[in-house]
């Protein structure tokens, strides 16, 4: 084992773990960032989606040896752009207003997928949004309100 250093939500982190330990377990158990969820453990559901150097990845499929020196962003890091400390960012606010979160277990991963879509310049076209979040399963909403919320943010309709 050797120390693995990386940035999580802007803060430096150093963990001494086996290289094949999952990023998901390091986030949840070693760093206490339980906002990232496990739904299947095999990259099918997207509940553990995080951003790794800005790319959307399933944290259950990422071994820590691939995280050394890189930048990780989780749902806990989204609200750093909120207007008030501990508040919601524009995407979280849109999800709340549109009713895009029900049981909430897919929501952190869904938000990260939406963030990646918007950061890549994605617009309000519903079909493009559906493509962008196709790796993230939701069993509650039927996706309609998630697509609507992301489209509203892409169109600048949510302050």
Partner 1 sequence: MTTRTMPRPATSPERSAPDALVLETGVTAPGRARGFPLRREGPAKLTGAAKYADDLVFPGAWYGVTIRSTEPRARLLAIELDPDVDWSRVVVVTAADIPGENLVSAIKEDQPVLVPVGGEIRHHAEPVALLAAPDRETLRLLRAHIRLVTEALPPVFDPERSDHVFAEYQIGGGDLETGFAVADLILEGEYRVGHQEQLYIENNAMIAVPAEDGGMAVHGSLQCPYYVHKAMMKSLDLNSSQARVIQAETGGGFGGKEEFPSIIAVHASLLAGKCGRPVRMIYDRHEDLVATTKRHPAIIRHRTGVMHDGTLVAQDIEVVMDGGAYCTLTPVVLSRGALHSGGPYRCANVRIRARATRTNTAPNGAFRGFGAPQVEFAMETHLNRIAERLGMSPAEIRRRNAYELDDTTPTGQVLRESVAAQEVLRLAVEASDFERVRASNQAAAALRAWGGAAGVGTASEGQVARLHSGPARTASGIGLALAWHGAGFTGSGEVHIGSVASVELTEEGRVRVLIGSTEMGQGTNTIFPLMVAGELGIVADLVDMAPVDTAFVPDSGPTVASRTAMVVGGLCIEAARRLRAEVEARHDGKPFAEVYLADAVLHGATRIDQRFEPYPGVTFDDATYRGDAYPAFGWAACVVSVEVDLDTAEVSVRDVVAVDDVGRVLHPILCEGQVEGGTLQAIGYATIEEIKLDNGRYLNDRLATYLIPTALDAPRMTTLLVEAPFSGAPHGAKGVGELPMDVGAPAVIAAIHDAVGAWVTELPATPERIFAALDADAGAPDRRIA
- Using CB under 8 A as the criterion, which residues of the chain lie in contact with partner 1 when the complex forms? 28, 32-42, 44-45, 47, 74-76, 78-79, 86, 88, 92, 95-99, 101-108, 111, 126, 129-131, 133-147, 152, 157-159
**Which residue in 17, 119, 10 sits closest to 68, CA to CA?**
17
| 60 neighbors 11 (Cβ within 8 angstroms) | no
Rounded to a whole number of angstroms, the minimum distance from the CB of residue 52 to partner 1 is 17
- Say if strands 71-73 and 2-8 run parallel, antiparallel, or are unpaired: parallel
What is the C-alpha separation between 29 and 90, in angstroms, rounded? 28
**DSSP 3-state assignment of 124?**
coil
Rounded to a whole number of angstroms, the minimum distance from the CB of residue 114 to partner 1 is 11
Rank residues 69 and 96 by Cβ distance to partner 1 and give the closer one: 96
Rounded to a whole number of angstroms, the minimum distance from the CB of residue 46 to partner 1 is 9
What is the tally of helices (H) and strands (E) in the chain? 5, 5
Rank residues 65 and 103 by Cβ distance to partner 1 and give the closer one: 103
Rounded to a whole number of angstroms, the minimum distance from the CB of residue 16 to partner 1 is 17
What is the C-alpha separation between 68 and 70, in angstroms, rounded? 6
Rank residues 67 and 147 by Cβ distance to partner 1 and give the closer one: 147
Rank residues 6 and 117 by Cβ distance to partner 1 and give the closer one: 117
The tokens for 73 are: 């962003």
């Amino acid at each position: 084992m050797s120390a693995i250093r990386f940035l999580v939500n802007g803060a430096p982190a150093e963990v001494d773990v086996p290289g094949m330990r999952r990023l998901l377990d390091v986030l949840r158990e070693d760093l206490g960032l339980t906002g990232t969820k496990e739904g299947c453990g095999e990259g099918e559901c997207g509940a553990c989606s995080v951003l790794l150097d800005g790319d959307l990845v399933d944290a259950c499929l990422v071994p820590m040896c691939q995280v050394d020196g890189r930048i990780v962003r989780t749902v806990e890091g989204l609200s750093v752009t909120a207007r008030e400390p501990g508040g919601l960012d524009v995407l979280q606010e849109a999800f709340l207003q549109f009713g895009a979160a029900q049981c909430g277990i897919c929501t952190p991963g869904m938000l990260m997928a939406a963030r990646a879509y918007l950061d890549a310049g994605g617009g309000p076209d519903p079909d493009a949004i559906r493509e962008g979040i196709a790796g993230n399963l939701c069993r509650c909403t039927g996706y309609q309100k998630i697509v609507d919320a992301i489209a509203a943010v892409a169109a600048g309709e949510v302050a």
